[in-house]
Amino acid sequence: MQFDEQEVMKAFRIYMELAKSGRAEAEQTKLYENDDRIRGLVDRFAAESDCVVIAAGEQLMLIPLARLSPFHMSNDALKKNYLKAGALNADLYLLYVAVIVWIGAFYDSYQTAEPIRSFLSMDEWLNLMRDKMEGIKERGEEQLQQDSVDHAYRWSDIVKRWDAIDDIKEGAKRQSGQTNSRLSFLDSVRRFLLDQELALEVGVNELGLNEKTKIVVQRYFMETEYNRGILEFLYGYANQREEEDQNHASDF
């Protein structure tokens, strides 16, 4: 397909704005959505950087799809900005799991496309994390070693990091991120979600999904190609436990 110089420059300006700020505003969004040729060019520019362009409301957003993308936030940057000094890779993966659990709380299974709730409180998030960590531990060390190979997540180390976090101060009304507690850790994850515009603060200690996250979930979050089976591991096993509990209850 041949493009004239004007089309190429229009598409390139949209891409450069996305590359610079991660987003493009209403006028460029309208051009992207209404002109198939320009949209195709912008998408090709993004693909060269291992990214995808999504339209959320009146904005375009540039989403990196691979770790090698120049727009992907590095592990070192994540540790520096959102975790405590001396954070290990296990702390970083625990952050990833906390994000997965937070997003998963909005859906009634890992294969549904529409959220079933409008917000999640910090206390509910904490309880869900506890449940998931306990469920993971029940699989046993030998099985977790195999799961770690399958998912490229060191599950044993993740659980150990969770267990090591002191939860004595979890009764505090507000966690500033300075105390070594599980709520404090989730507060750091909350800051990450808000900074990356993946969440909306809808009330005191309450977070909701925004349009950007809903679109990412619909297109990529549920796909094994991108989540490497981690969602099935977290939620499929939880469903299995619920079925077993129901079967045991029916025996009485």
CA distance 157 to 175: 25
* Residue 70 within any structural domain of the chain: no
Give the distance from CA 106 to its chain's centroid.
Answer: 12
What predicted TM-score, i.e. pTM, was given to this entire model? 0.74
* Residue 251 within any structural domain of the chain: no
24 and 129 in a single domain? The answer is: no
91 and 120 in a single domain? The answer is: yes
* Residue 204 within any structural domain of the chain: yes
The predicted structure's pLDDT at residue 224 = 52
Sheet (strand 120-121) strand order:
120-121, 206-209, 199-203
CA distance 75 to 93: 10
* Greater model confidence, 107 or 187: 187
**How wide is the angle at C-alpha 132 spanned by C-alphas 141 and 88, nearest 5°?**
65
35 and 127 in a single domain? The answer is: no
Domain-terminating residue out of 23, 39, 64 = 64
85 and 31 in a single domain? The answer is: no
User: Is the pLDDT assigned to residue 44 strictly greater than 90?
Assistant: yes
Give the distance from CA 214 to its chain's centroid.
Answer: 11
* Residue 69 within any structural domain of the chain: no
87 and 170 in a single domain? The answer is: yes
Torsion of CA 186, 52, 220, 76, to 10 degrees: -30
User: Is the pLDDT assigned to residue 137 strictly greater than 50?
Assistant: yes
The predicted structure's pLDDT at residue 31 = 93
132 and 11 in a single domain? The answer is: no
Poorest-pLDDT segment among 41-50, 153-162, 190-199 = 153-162
Structural domain for 54, as ranges: 5-64
* Greater model confidence, 147 or 237: 147
User: Is the pLDDT assigned to residue 194 strictly greater than 60?
Assistant: yes
- For 109, half-sphere exposure in the C-beta direction (CA atoms, 13 angstrom radius) is 8
125 and 149 in a single domain? The answer is: yes
The predicted structure's pLDDT at residue 250 = 43
User: Is the pLDDT assigned to residue 132 strictly greater than 70?
Assistant: yes
Q: Which helix (H) or strand (E) holds 17?
A: helix 5-21
* Residue 237 within any structural domain of the chain: yes
Say if residues 122 and 93 touch (Cβ distance below 8 Å).
Answer: no
* Residue 235 within any structural domain of the chain: yes
User: Is the pLDDT assigned to residue 92 strictly greater than 70?
Assistant: yes
Count of domains in the chain? 2
Q: Please choose, from the candidates 54, 15, 47, 27, the residue with its C-alpha nearest in 3D space to the C-alpha of residue 214.
A: 54
The predicted structure's pLDDT at residue 4 = 85
What are the backbone angles phi and psi of residue 24, rounded to the nearest 5°? Answer: -135, 145
Please compute the mean of the pLDDT values over residues 65-78 and round it to a whole number: 67
151 and 194 in a single domain? The answer is: yes
CA distance 181 to 189: 13
User: What is the chain's mean pLDDT, rounded?
Assistant: 78
Domain-terminating residue out of 26, 44, 64 = 64
* Residue 60 within any structural domain of the chain: yes
Count helices and strands in the chain by DSSP H and E runs: 13, 6
Domain-terminating residue out of 13, 45, 64 = 64
The predicted structure's pLDDT at residue 187 = 94
* Helix (H/G/I), strand (E/B), else coil: 50: coil
User: Dihedral of CA 187/164/79/230: which sign?
Assistant: negative
* Residue 89 within any structural domain of the chain: yes
Residue pointed to by tokens 């704005």: 17
172 and 91 in a single domain? The answer is: yes
pLDDT more than 90, % of the chain: 27
117 and 170 in a single domain? The answer is: yes
110 and 233 in a single domain? The answer is: yes
58 and 179 in a single domain? The answer is: no
